[in-house]
Structure 1
Amino acid sequence: MTAPLIEVCVEGIDGFLAAQGAGADRVELCASLMEGGLTPSLATIRAAVRAARIPVHVIVRPRGGDFLYSQAEFETMLADVAALRSEGVAGVVIGCLTPDGRIDEARMQALVEAARPMSVTCHRAFDMTADAGEALEALIRCGVDRVLTSGQRDTALEGLDILKQINAQAGDRIVIMGCGALDADTIKAVRDGARLRELHFAALKTIPSGMMFRNPNVGMGGTGKDREYQLTVTDPDAVRATIAAARSA
């Protein structure tokens, strides 16, 4: 089996540079990974594209929460996709659902058409669908290039049976990119168990803030006060170790 392609999910320009420097084949660029990833700022996207030696894929997700969007939200997603195409981004990462847990084919087709010639990935909205096999066929009809999935479970190891099933179902029609708590200890088992060509992980660590003055009387954004003095960053050593494990015999 050939070595899998490795995509690293990162937050911000520092995360991008860390992942690229540690050997990622491709990066998914996000903001706010604590919410599962939101669309990053235009300046961040431009900085990553300027520095890129590998493809940059950008998530198009206007808010946290579910994947059932208002018409106004959907229109912003279309505009973001058009802007990303004009910025020279290699790919976009999208996902829209209907209230009954199906792929919203009309909206996904519109986003795919707006994105070309960029590559299009459906993110883990797929994992929130009612029927994985049905959702996969819907994404194929929409012309999506790949789907990011943990096999509809919290981790790829837990979702391994579904990953195997949908990878067999996909054949050469769409790429199944496995994710879900992948690290140096788990990635090889998922690679071999589902025979995946692409794998995705974040390799994050938490470090203390460099702030010396800390106001104990103010909390920002509803988070715990301690959280404001912690930074979640991409760990290049963990990226290297996980890539090495994914490519080991």
Structure 2
Amino acid sequence: MEKCKLEIACFNLQSAIIAQQNGADRVELCANMKEGGTTPHFEITKTAREVLSIDLNVMIRPRGGNFVYSDDEFEQMKTEIGQFKKLDVDGFVFGILNKNGSVNKEQNKELVALAHPFPCTFHRAFDEVKDVNQSLESVIECGFKSILTSGQEKNVVEGIAVLAELIEKSNNRITIIPGGGLRSSNIALLKQKTNATFYHSSAITDSSETANGDEVKALKGNLI
């Protein structure tokens, strides 16, 4: 059986270091927690790359709000991928939708091609798509390696049935990563019900924007 892995969403450099020290397998670096995560600052990412030996994925999202982007915003996303590639990060996290709630295949394919050879994760824009099954196929077709989702609910526990169904339907063609309200208190339940192999949490347990080392440890401990 494949060993389960843990990704920690980090909104500052301190969180990234805490994640690595306490057993996380990967950091997803972003800014603006209150916006649900946006593209991190280049200099912070550069420092993160220098201090981290674990994998580092970078969020590419020009703003909070919806996932339908203007031409200027799309150009910004392309530019950012080009810049971050030079830092030798390990992957990118983004997702673009059409106004009708479908996956924007043309734009996503372009970004995936631009990010090559680095793998891409389709982020929680997936939780806003109209047709889950059709969108799963679209994301696979675009060339993404994984999807970060709460199962279209406000947290992974409420979305557990959809997550389990997505993992079954994906049939190892893409990795489904449960994320959104994932904590050490519910990760064992998610593992039991979904058989996911990769999990995503901010490991934030207070009003700060910084990961809690004990929570990272507990999350990881529940996956072993």
TM-score (norm: length of structure 1): 0.88
**C-alpha distance in 1 between matches for 2:220 and 2:196:** 14
1:128 corresponds in structure 2 to 128
1:21 corresponds in structure 2 to 21
1:75 corresponds in structure 2 to 75
Q: CA RMSD in A?
A: 1.0
2:61 corresponds in structure 1 to 61
How big is the shift at 1:205? 3.5
**C-alpha distance in 2 between matches for 1:9 and 1:50:** 18
The aligned runs of 1:193-232 (5 Å cut-off) are: 193-206=193-206, 231-232=208-209
Structure 2 alignment gaps of length 5 or more: none
**C-alpha distance in 1 between matches for 2:191 and 2:101:** 28
1:161 corresponds in structure 2 to 161
Q: Deviations over 1:191-223 (max 9, x none)?
A: 11011011101111446xxxxxxxxxxxxxxxx
Q: Deviations over 1:92-117 (max 9, x none)?
A: 00100000101000000000000001
1:33 corresponds in structure 2 to 33
The aligned runs of 1:38-57 (5 Å cut-off) are: 38-57=38-57
**Equivalent residues of 2:112, 2:142 under 8 A apart:** yes
2:216 corresponds in structure 1 to 239
1:7 corresponds in structure 2 to 7
1:97 corresponds in structure 2 to 97
**Equivalent residues of 2:8, 2:200 under 8 A apart:** yes
How big is the shift at 1:35? 1.0
1:185 corresponds in structure 2 to 185
**C-alpha distance in 2 between matches for 1:57 and 1:2:** 21
1:225 corresponds in structure 2 to none
How big is the shift at 1:245? 1.4
2:111 corresponds in structure 1 to 111
Higher RCO (CA < 8 A, seq sep 6+): 2
How big is the shift at 1:2? 3.6
Q: In structure 1, give the amino acid aligned to 2:115.
A: A
1:213 corresponds in structure 2 to none
Q: In structure 2, give the amino acid aligned to 1:167.
A: I
For the residue of structure 2 that corresponds to 1:9, the secondary structure is strand
How big is the shift at 1:77? 0.1
For the residue of structure 1 that corresponds to 2:182, the secondary structure is coil
How big is the shift at 1:164? 1.1
Q: Deviations over 1:4-38 (max 9, x none)?
A: 11101111211111111111000100111111001
**Equivalent residues of 1:203, 1:235 under 8 A apart:** yes
Q: Once the two structures are aligned, what percentage of the paired residues are identical? A: 33
**C-alpha distance in 2 between matches for 1:168 and 1:69:** 31
Q: Deviations over 1:36-70 (max 9, x none)?
A: 00111110010011111101000000101000100
| Greater Rg by CA | 1
Runs of 4+ aligned structure 1 residues displaced above 2 Å come to: none
